[in-house]
Structure formats: structure tokens, C-alpha cells
């Protein structure tokens, strides 16, 4: 069986999990092509105008799935850890994007709620396995493999391996010549990602993975930054550190993504080897509207240069380049002692059409 998997939203943080699960069940996942103008156009036609860019891109990818798939997989990620929820737009999936699914293509879905504990997730995946004609035992083994793959992926990212490189590793699964993940995979990607001796400035790029690594959607921000700076990401920060950096909040954050963005962002805001923090956000994101401001306050307290880049489908490349260059110039002046300004800035881009 071939199941379509859109290269959007949950692809960017949980694809290895699903690759492990479906591989163990003998089902091939076929991922939609990389985002391009046509994919975005399809998404804009199908999705609601009011929704955020990542959901519009998801709609475009659903409408661009390979024609030989027999079904599409759209999980509902309710919660990825205890005591928090995903944002309401994610909770509303898959129903809110059903109009984008090609006519006649069945949708396979499952509710993943880590808030209720591992036993609950296992139960949900056993039920999903049953729908796919597999036994409980097979589904349980598939769950174990899914967790292992996700663990390997997260370890790869924490140790500094790039997103594309790590994902290629997992996208090879399921193909006849796919090598899969070796048992020795975990922990064998050592290497620290922060040192003091770099000549290039170190910039922390904080944002949702489905924006940070979506190169068409973010106007190739990563490659522009990589040419001029050493980059570190939210995924390089361990969960325990994230929790540690949120200990002083008067009330715990309710949204899983906001929690990760703020905790990781704060760890970089106080890190002496990080020269500046860029928060990558998108118009219409409710959780970002709060966390980007909370992080701005923390960055200001620690005199860390900080910039918010807000994207939507109208954002233009020239606008991004101008803002990034100005930010890096300011950091350079600060580094060589020409300026003692904190470098705090917050505004949106989007004035130049694509």
C-alpha cells in the first residue's frame, strides 16, 4: 500500500516517527514534492484566507500528492507532551483542510495525545493498525520502531546535523534500496555546536520547524543566513534545558510550540557565544504573538540583538535580505565595539510582492 504524506506541518518535526511506524507495517509513505510556486498557488486557492501560511502550504501539498497514492495520512496532533496542547489550528486538522484532499482519496487519521500518556498513544496506534489490517502486536512493534526513529532524529539534530541531511536519511526508508537506521545510530552524531572562536557571528534562528526549514515559504532565509553566519536552532536545545529556562514564569505556558520556542530562545538570549536571535514568525499565528514578545523582553534584559521576521504568502525576498543584512551589520558593529546599542528590533516584512 502507498500512503501520501504532505511535505508540510508535522512532516517537519515528526516524519521520522511516522516513517518508522509505517515501515514496520510494510506500508510505503510517498511524500509530496518540495514547495514551489504551483504548490503555494494550489494552497492559496483551497485554504481559508484567514489562516496562517503553514496551513495554506499544507493545503497546497495535499493537492499536490503523487497520483499513485491510495490514501492520505493526516494525523491530529493534540499534544506532544504533558500539560500542554498544540495550537487550535493544528487541533482543527484534518477537518479544516479536507477540501484540499483530492476527490475520492480516503483520509487516514489518528489522534496523538501525549498529554494522556504513552499508553493512550499506543492504544490509538493499535486502532490505526487495525484499520490498516494489522494485528495489535504488529502495531505495538511499529510504535516501538516509530519512537526509536524519532529519538534518533532528535539526537541527530541536537548534535548539530542539518535538517535536510537528517530528513534525507529517513526519506530513504521504505524504498527498495533504503538502508534504514542502524541500531548504532543513536548517539553516534557527536559534536558541539557552539564555540567562541568562530569568525562568523553566531545567530540563533528560533521558529516553528515548518517555517524554519520550509525554504520556499521562508524565501530561502536559511541559505542567506548560512552564507553570513553560523546558525543554531531550537532543535539544538535539549528538552530539559527548555524546561529549565521557563522555570521563572509566573504561569506555565499552555501551548507546546510556544513553550519550546521561548525556552530555547531564552537559552540563546543568555548565551555569551550567541551574537543575536532571530524569531521567525508568520502572520495570523496566535501563539507567536505572545511568545515573540516574551522573548523580546528577555533578549532586551540581556542586551542581546533580537529581530522578528514575520512572513506570509506576500512577503518578498528583497525585504528579507534588507532586514537580515541590516541586522548582521548591526551585530558586526557591536562585535567590534562600534556600537553599544542592544539591537532590539521588531517589525514585519511583506511590503514587496513575490
Q: Which residues bind ligand SF4 (CB under 6 A)?
A: 52, 54-55, 87, 89-90, 208, 257, 282, 285-288
Nearest CA to 61 among 214, 218, 281? 214
Question: Minimum distance from CB of 58 to ligand SF4 (Å)?
Answer: 9
Using the minimum distance from each CB to ligand SF4, give the nearer residue, 111 or 332. 111
User: Dihedrals φ, ψ of 135, to 5°?
Assistant: -80, 165
DSSP state of 285: -
Minimum distance from CB of 82 to ligand SF4 (Å)? 19
Closest CB to ligand SF4 among residues 54, 94: 54
Three-state SS at 214: coil
Q: Minimal distance in Å, beta carbon 10 to ligand SF4?
A: 10
Phi-psi region of 9 (alpha: psi -120 to 50; beta: other; left: phi over 0): left
Which residue's CB is nearer to ligand SF4, number 66 or number 286? 286
Q: Which is nearer to ligand SF4, 188 or 289 (CB)?
A: 289
Cell of 253: 505556558
Instruction: Provide the minimum distance between the beta carbon of 322 and ligand SF4 in the complex, in angstroms, as a whole number.
Output: 24
State the CB neighbour count (10 A cutoff) for residue 67.
Answer: 8
Find the shortest distance in angstroms from Cβ 35 to ligand SF4.
Answer: 15
Least Cβ distance, residue 85 to ligand SF4 (angstroms): 11
Q: Are 329 and 300 in contact (CB under 8 A)?
A: no
181 vs 282, beta carbon nearer ligand SF4 = 282
Smallest distance, Å, CB 46 to ligand SF4? Answer: 16
| Closest CB 341 distance from ligand SF4, rounded Å | 30
Q: Pull the grid cell for residue 306.
A: 533580537
Comparison of 22 and 213: residue with beta carbon closer to ligand SF4: 213
- By C-beta, is 126 or 214 nearer to ligand SF4? 214
CA distances from 243 to 89, 266, 329 (A): 24, 11, 33
Residue whose C-alpha cell reads 525576498 in the numeric block: 317
Nearer to ligand SF4, 149 or 233 (CB): 233
Which candidate, 191, 193, 186, places its Cα nearest to that of 155? 186
Compute the distance between CA of residue 155 and CA of residue 146 in angstroms, rounded to an integer.
Answer: 14
| Residue 235 near residue 158, CB atoms below 8 Å | yes
- Of 56 and 134, the one with the shorter C-beta distance to ligand SF4 is 56
Per DSSP, which regions of 55-174 are E strands? 71-73, 76-79, 107-108, 111-113
Burial 270-281 (b: 16+ CB within 10 A, else e): ebeebbbbbbbb
The dihedral over CA atoms of 186, 118, 13, 50, expressed in degrees to the nearest 10, equals -170
Least distance between ligand SF4 and beta carbon 96 (Å): 10
Largest separation between any pair of C-alpha atoms in the chain:
67
Residue 344, helix vs strand vs coil: strand
Amino acid at each position: 500500500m502507498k500512503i501520501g504524506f504532505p511535505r508540510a506541518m508535522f512532516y517537519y518535526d515528526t516524519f521520522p516517527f511516522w516513517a518508522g511506524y509505517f515501515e514496520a507495517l510494510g506500508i510505503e509513505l510517498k511524500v509530496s514534492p518540495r514547495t514551489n510556486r504551483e504548490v503555494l498557488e494550489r494552497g492559496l486557492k483551497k485554504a481559508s484566507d484567514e489562516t496562517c501560511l503553514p496551513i495554506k502550504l499544507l493545503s497546497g501539498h495535499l493537492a499536490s500528492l503523487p497520483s499513485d497514492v491510495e490514501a492520505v495520512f493526516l494525523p491530529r496532533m493534540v499534544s506532544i507532551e504533558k500539560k500542554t496542547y498544540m495550537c487550535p489550528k493544528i487541533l482543527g486538522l484534518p477537518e479544516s483542510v479536507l477540501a484540499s484532499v483530492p476527490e475520492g482519496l480516503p483520509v487516514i487519521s489518528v489522534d496523538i495525545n501525549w498529554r494522556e500518556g504513552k499508553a493512550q498513544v499506543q492504544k490509538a496506534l493499535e486502532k490505526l493498525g487495525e484499520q490498516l489490517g494489522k494485528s495489535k502486536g504488529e502495531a505495538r512493534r511499529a510504535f516501538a520502531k516509530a519512537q526509536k526513529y524519532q529519538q534518533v532524529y532528535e539526537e541527530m539534530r541536537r548534535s548539530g546535523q542539518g535538517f535536510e541531511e537528517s530528513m534525507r536519511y529517513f526519506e530513504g526508508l521504505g524504498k527498495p534500496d533504503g538502508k534504514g537506521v542502524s541500531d548504532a545510530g543513536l548517539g553516534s552524531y557527536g559534536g558541539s555546536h557552539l564555540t567562541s572562536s568562530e569568525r562568523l557571528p553566531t545567530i540563533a534562528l528560533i521558529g516553528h520547524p515548518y517555517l524554519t526549514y520550509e525554504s520556499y515559504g521562508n524565501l530561502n532565509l536559511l541559505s542567506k543566513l548560512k552564507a553570513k553566519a553560523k546558525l543554531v536552532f531550537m532543535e539544538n536545545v535539549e528538552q530539559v534545558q527548555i524546561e529549565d529556562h521557563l522555570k521563572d514564569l509566573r504561569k506555565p505556558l499552555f501551548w507546546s510550540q510556544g513553550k519550546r520556542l521561548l525556552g530555547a530562545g531564552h537559552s540563546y538570549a543568555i548565551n555569551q557565544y550567541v551574537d543575536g536571535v532571530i524569531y521567525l514568525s508568520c502572520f495570523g499565528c496566535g501563539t507567536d504573538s505572545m511568545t515573540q514578545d516574551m522573548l523580546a523582553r528577555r533578549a532586551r534584559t540581556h542586551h542581546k540583538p533580537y529581530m522578528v521576521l514575520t512572513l506570509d504568502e506576500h512577503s518578498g525576498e528583497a525585504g528579507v535580505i534588507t532586514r537580515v543584512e541590516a541586522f548582521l551589520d548591526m551585530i558586526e558593529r557591536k562585535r567590534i565595539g562600534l556600537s553599544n546599542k542592544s539591537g532590539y528590533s521588531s517589525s514585519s516584512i511583506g511590503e514587496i510582492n513575490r
